[in-house]
């Protein structure tokens, strides 16, 4: 497995002056209000508004509608409908081997490596704890000495999140927080970014033990949805206490099944227990990924 840079509180950040200024501006913004406004704008269904809006977006980003179920702008009800578009059947394939963890999204590796002393590497000079990310000290202990992968979804990416390995939903938690951008510039400059932002933490029981799938909200991410609970946000909770939930009925998903979706770009963080996975040695920070791409072999299997 490719390891990340050794972490130290004294390590100097790679953030440029521009990165630092961008992060400083965000601290002053009403990020929840702006994200809620973006959600409302993105749900305007007037063809006179949504069609030019979608076309302008497509001129700015490399989006191929030929792989989507609906191939024309006019077929989408509004921008959010376009942004969370489904792919054609077979557009992304899962690995043939059953004992492989696959990419849950189209995106780019932000960081990948071990969870050392309960801490997760964010960027040079910055880390955060698994307990902070999960909003659960006891749950975090299950991942002591384990591994993580952080995957960034740019605005042009497919924005549905799928399960990287089959499992049964144990619990899920909505954690209120800020809505800072999660792009690389902010990650380099903003301490504890992913554990400060609003997020949804889902824990699945799998053949290799618990697996956490964390969907992190961000600036202009107007909404997060799950397949078992529907729309989670908006509204964006201004409180600080996490909302812990257990499913009312069994939610068992196979590898590749949809977990949820983002309205606008964001980040997914995966956590696995110690000794569970052997990550592909070719994976490095900055590498582009496609949904279903093999990421790791399962080494450890547990009985239910």
Query: pLDDT, tens digit, for every residue of 98-154?
Result: 999 999 999 999 999 999 999 999 999 999 999 999 999 999 999 999 999 999 999
On the question of pLDDT at 75 being above 70, the answer is: yes
- Residue 282 Cα distances to 3, 107, 277, 288, angstroms: 11, 16, 15, 12
Give the model's confidence band at 302: pLDDT under 50 very low, under 70 low, under 90 confident, else very high. Answer: low
Catalytic residue among 126, 159, 162, 236: 162
On the question of pLDDT at 7 being above 70, the answer is: no
Catalytic residue among 35, 102, 110, 266: 266
Query: Residue 234: what pLDDT?
Result: 83
Average pLDDT over residues 291-304: 83
| Domain regions of the chain by residue span | 17-83, 100-298
Query: Residue 223: what pLDDT?
Result: 82
Q: Return the SS3 of 279.
A: strand
Query: Residue 2: what pLDDT?
Result: 44
Query: Residue 222: what pLDDT?
Result: 64
Average pLDDT over residues 209-228: 91
Residue 266 among the catalytic residues: yes
Nearest to 234 by CA among 186, 194, 179, 180: 179
Catalytic residue among 106, 127, 136, 280: 106
Contact by Cβ (8 Å): 25, 189: no
Query: Residue 44: what pLDDT?
Result: 96
Query: Residue 116: what pLDDT?
Result: 96
Kindly tell me the number of DSSP H helices and DSSP E strands found in the chain: 8, 18
- What pTM value is reported for the model? 0.92
Residue 156 among the catalytic residues: no
Query: Residue 303: what pLDDT?
Result: 47
Residue 106 among the catalytic residues: yes
Query: Residue 239: what pLDDT?
Result: 79
């Amino acid at each position: 497995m490719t390891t990340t840079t050794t972490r130290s509180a004294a390590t100097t950040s790679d953030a440029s002056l521009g990165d630092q200024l961008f992060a400083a501006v965000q601290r002053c913004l009403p990020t929840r209000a702006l994200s809620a406004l973006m959600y409302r704008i993105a749900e305007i269904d007037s063809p006179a508004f949504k069609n030019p809006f979608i076309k302008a977006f497509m001129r700015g980003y490399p989006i191929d509608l030929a792989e989507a179920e609906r191939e024309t702008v006019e077929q989408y009800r509004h921008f959010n409908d376009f942004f969370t578009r489904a792919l054609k059947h077979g557009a992304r394939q899962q690995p043939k081997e059953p004992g492989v963890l696959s990419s849950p999204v189209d995106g780019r590796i932000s960081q990948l490596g071990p969870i050392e002393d309960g801490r997760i590497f964010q960027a040079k000079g910055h880390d955060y704890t698994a307990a902070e990310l999960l909003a659960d000290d006891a749950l975090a202990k299950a991942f002591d000495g384990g591994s993580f992968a952080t995957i960034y979804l740019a605005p042009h990416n497919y924005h549905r999140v799928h399960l990287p390995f089959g499992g049964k939903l144990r619990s899920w938690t909505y954690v209120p927080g800020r809505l800072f951008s999660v792009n690389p510039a902010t990650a380099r400059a903003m301490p504890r970014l992913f554990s400060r932002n609003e997020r949804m933490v889902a824990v699945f029981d799998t053949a290799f033990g618990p697996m956490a799938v964390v969907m992190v909200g961000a600036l202009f991410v107007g909404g997060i949805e799950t397949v078992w609970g529907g729309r989670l946000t908006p509204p964006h909770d201004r409180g600080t206490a996490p909302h812990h939930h257990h499913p009312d009925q069994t939610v068992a998903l196979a590898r590749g099944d949809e977990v949820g979706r983002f309205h606008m770009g964001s980040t997914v963080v995966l956590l696995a227990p110690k000794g569970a996975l052997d990550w592909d040695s070719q994976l490095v920070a900055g590498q582009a990924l496609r949904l279903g791409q093999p990421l790791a072999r399962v080494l450890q299997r547990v009985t239910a």
